[in-house]
Structure 1
Amino acid sequence: MSISAGRPRASSREILAEAACELFLEQGYAGTSIADIAARAGVSRSSFFNYFASKSDILWSGLDERIETLCARLAGERSADAAADVRGALLALGDGFAPDSLALALVNAQAMGLVDELEREASVRRSRIAAAVSTRLRDAGAPVVAADVAGAAHGGAVLAAIDAWALEGAGLAPLAASLRAGVDAAALTLPAPVRQLRLVVRADDFDAALSFYRDELGLTEQESFQGDGGARVTILGAGRATLELSNAAQVELIDRVETDGNAPSDALRVAFEVSDTAATVEHLAAAGAAVEASARVTPWRSLNARLRGPAGLQLTLFQELGPEH
């Protein structure tokens, strides 16, 4: 009986993919032949090759088509901003990406006997993306090593995003959200005119400030120096740095959302993304921070709180909650 009996009519390609995934679950990837798949789908073995080049192509063809588009786009880009070209091309890869055989295989890799196969095939796709990104950056004048590192990071970011999206429940949220997180992380490797944002803060009680931001908030100490006359400086790492510019209307909006109206924003407010806003607020309050506004969910699905920390810094802690399901 055809696999599609009693179901809405589907294309032969979809029927073959569905048949393959059923068989992979029943008898494992290695134990399933192309002839088995064709028989389950109710088509001839030769018809299989009208749609797929190989058994693994069933899982990877959808992504491969998008990688081909990405490679062609990067090869044709000649704007002055190669980093923006890379980011745009990679984010476009996730547009309209729907759950398919690959997502099902990633979730059921152990049951299908696909763990090693998926890793081998994923490495091929990582390498293709890495080469396309590296070539675009080299063409723009980036040093070879820097371009190759950025390429490897972005290739890894795409495959990691797809894996996370599948395991978290492909279809519950668009791939674009996971992909953006991966591309944001990989962006640290891209060449840019400005290499680092460093916020320089005068701390009259240096030891108290250092203890709070390093030991309590958890920033990592990167460098520390001492100079004449008791001069001291410590550089703390705080993850990815961005500069958020807001006009007066935006600041007023944020104050209404983030506070009860009794803690207006300073001209400079420092925001830290954390994994658990409520727990971090409790911990930092115990360490001496003054809570200016308790944690609350914003309209854009983050959990925000506002505090006053050492050295007079006004702090926002925010936790990205993701879309509601």
Structure 2
Amino acid sequence: MTVDPRAGRPRASSRETLAEAACELFLEQGYEATSIADIATRAGVSRSSFFNYFSSKGDILWAAFDERVDVAIAALAADDATPARDILMAIADDFAPDSLALAVANATVMGLDDELEGERALRQARLARAIADRAHRDGLPRLRAEVQGAAGAGAVLAAVWQWAHAGAGQADLGPVVAEALDAAPVGEPPTVRQLRVVVQAPDFEDTLTFYRDVLGMPQAEAYEAEGGARVAILDAGRATLELANSAQVAFIDRVETDGIASDRIRIALEVGDTSGVAERLAAGGARLEATPRETPWRSLNARLRGPADLQLTLFQELGPA
């Protein structure tokens, strides 16, 4: 007499029943050799019933995880109040061992190594895009946002794999995701989103012409107010704040100018051709304080005094010797 392998199991078609049947078959005969018809037969349901729960054979493994990722992606796009890290941590909330964890832990036996890696990459890319877009909206430059997105998504998927290999039923997924995100921080935008140097320029037109037209800093914004008030905001590329103690300032002055003292605040501008830009600025109204010279840290520096009494350092990164 043939014994029904599903004897004693409820005959009701359900996602859990189909998933259990599929994993049994993947372990017994491999993923590629198992058909949807095989899974439906083992589960005791019709083939058409299979598609009430899953769109494909691979969907059996990923459906529960995909639902959580879809929720996270929607939240990253719509909920700017909740920190991105908290949204990613929610993927792990009450995440019980399922078909995906079993497949990851038994990928070689099931013949699933290539299948899982390919599907993992697709989900990692979707999640990375959502994290990056959120980070960019939060104020990170696009490149840094893309890196943060890739790191955050990679951390989540790496945590799932680590959790599965360690024995998914032995620990919660949440602490593993938290540890992974600690290694690839995803979270709040920086407190300071832009450095803006505000300069009082009594000779406004000449100063604007020099920095915008001669030096070549594009005008990003301009405003006027009552009483002849005017302001122009020029784009200076990436902004940083360099803090130096007195000994460092004296050292830089010796290297860059043969000892001409720096102002308390000096504006340093990275350019592609220090000599050419210095010559152009001198011709446009700046006073050359120190001619271009190579520094020990492989940059070509020149110092000038520009309109509005700004002390300027031009520096060109020369790269390795």
What TM-score do you get using the length of structure 2 for normalisation?
0.56
Q: Hey, what does 2:70 align to over in structure 1?
A: 68
Q: Which runs of 4+ in 1 moved over 2 A?
A: 1-11, 188-195
Q: Hey, what does 2:54 align to over in structure 1?
A: 52
CA contact (8 A) 1:20 1:37 kept: yes
Aligned residues: 194
Q: Hey, what does 1:104 align to over in structure 2?
A: 102
C-alpha displacement at 1:27, in angstroms? Answer: 1.1
Task: Encode CA deviations 1:149-187: one digit per residue, 9 max, x unaligned.
Answer: 000001110110000001111111100011111111110
Separation (CA, whole Å) in 2 of partners of 1:148 and 1:2: 53
Q: Relative to 1, partners in 2 of residues 1:190 and 1:13: Cα closer, same or farther, differing over 3 Å? A: same
Identity of aligned residues (%): 57
Matched residue of 1:171: which SS? Answer: helix
Matched residue of 2:170: which SS? Answer: coil
Matched residue of 1:58: which SS? Answer: helix
CA contact (8 A) 2:138 2:189 kept: no
Separation (CA, whole Å) in 2 of partners of 1:133 and 1:56: 25
C-alpha displacement at 1:13, in angstroms? Answer: 1.0
Q: Hey, what does 1:285 align to over in structure 2?
A: none
Task: Encode CA deviations 1:127-164: one digit per residue, 9 max, x unaligned.
Answer: 11101101111122211111110000011101100000
Matched residue of 1:187: which SS? Answer: coil
CA contact (8 A) 1:146 1:189 kept: no
Separation (CA, whole Å) in 2 of partners of 1:61 and 1:69: 13
Separation (CA, whole Å) in 1 of partners of 2:171 and 2:85: 20
CA contact (8 A) 2:84 2:187 kept: no
Separation (CA, whole Å) in 2 of partners of 1:40 and 1:177: 36
Q: Relative to 1, partners in 2 of residues 1:3 and 1:189: Cα closer, same or farther, differing over 3 Å? A: same
Give the alignment partner of residue 5 of structure 1, picking from 1, 4, 7.
7
CA contact (8 A) 2:85 2:186 kept: no
Separation (CA, whole Å) in 2 of partners of 1:194 and 1:171: 43
Letter in 2 for 1:130: A
Q: Hey, what does 1:29 align to over in structure 2?
A: 31
Q: Hey, what does 1:308 align to over in structure 2?
A: none
Q: Relative to 1, partners in 2 of residues 1:2 and 1:67: Cα closer, same or farther, differing over 3 Å? A: farther
Separation (CA, whole Å) in 2 of partners of 1:50 and 1:156: 31
Structure 2: gaps spanning 5 or more residues? 194-246, 249-321
Q: Hey, what does 2:80 align to over in structure 1?
A: 78
C-alpha displacement at 1:2, in angstroms? Answer: 5.7
CA contact (8 A) 1:105 1:112 kept: yes
CA contact (8 A) 2:6 2:42 kept: no
Task: Encode CA deviations 1:93-147: one digit per residue, 9 max, x unaligned.
Answer: 1000000000000010000000000000000110111011011111222111111
Separation (CA, whole Å) in 2 of partners of 1:10 and 1:74: 37
RMSD of the TM alignment (CA)? Answer: 2.4
Q: Hey, what does 1:134 align to over in structure 2?
A: 132
Equivalent residues in 2 for 1:1-325, closer than 5 Å = 3-7=5-9, 12-79=14-81, 85-187=83-185, 191-193=189-191
CA contact (8 A) 2:11 2:45 kept: no
Q: Relative to 1, partners in 2 of residues 1:128 and 1:188: Cα closer, same or farther, differing over 3 Å? A: closer
C-alpha displacement at 1:192, in angstroms? Answer: 2.8
Q: Relative to 1, partners in 2 of residues 1:8 and 1:45: Cα closer, same or farther, differing over 3 Å? A: closer
Matched residue of 1:127: which SS? Answer: helix
Computing the radius of gyration from Cα coordinates, the structure with the larger value is 2
Matched residue of 1:164: which SS? Answer: helix
CA contact (8 A) 1:2 1:41 kept: no
CA contact (8 A) 1:150 1:189 kept: no
Letter in 2 for 1:110: T
CA contact (8 A) 1:149 1:189 kept: no
